[in-house]
Amino acid sequence: MVGIGWQSLTGVACLSRFLHRGVGGPAVMHEQLTHLAEVGQQPKVMIQVIPAEISAHAGLGGAVSIADREGGPTIVHLDSFTAGQTTSAPEIVARVRQMSDMLRCEALPRGASQELIMKVAKEQWTT
C-alpha cells in the first residue's frame, strides 16, 4: 500500500489481491471492504486498486507514506521487513513521489476501484 497526503488529501493504492485475502473470515472481510468503500467516497480520500493483471509495479518495494507539511519539509516513511526509514531528504522524497505517481498510473480509477471493492465484498465475502 502507498499512502500520500497530510491534511488535504489522503490517497491509498492497494493491490487487488488484498481484497481476496480472507483475514478474520467472511463477515469481517465484508465489513472491512464495505467500510473501505464508504471511506473512499469522502471528498478528501482517494482509494485506487491495482488490478491483479499488473504483476510488476512500483509498489512491490513496500509501503510508503508521504506527509506534505504546511510550512515544513515533506517527510516520507518507507516500510521494510527489518526497519522503517523516515526522511525529508529531497532526493528520496522526489523518488518516492515519482514511484507513487507511477503506481497511481497502474491503478484503476477511483470509481472503478470503488466498484471492484464492493463487487468483491458482495460476491466473495457475503455470508
pLDDT single digits (tens) 44-103: 888 999 888 877 666 666 788 888 888 889 999 988 888 889 999 999 999 999 988 888
Residue 13 in this model has a pLDDT that exceeds 90: no
| pTM of full prediction above 0.85 | no
Report pLDDT for 8.
61
Report pLDDT for 1.
45
Q: Is 52 helix (H, G, I), strand (E, B) or coil?
A: coil
- Using alpha carbons, list the distances in angstroms from residue 74 to 61, 86, 108: 20, 11, 26
The sign one gets for the Cα dihedral 40, 45, 47, 48 is positive
H-run or E-run covering 45:
strand 45-50
What is the spatial distance between Cα 116 and Cα 121, in angstroms, rounded to a whole number? 8
Residue 111 in this model has a pLDDT that exceeds 90: yes
pLDDT confidence bin for 12, thresholds 50/70/90: confident
- Using alpha carbons, list the distances in angstroms from residue 3 to 45, 79, 83, 104, 124: 10, 11, 18, 11, 26
Would you state the cell numbers that stand for residue 46, as one nine-digit string? Answer: 482517494
Report pLDDT for 30.
96
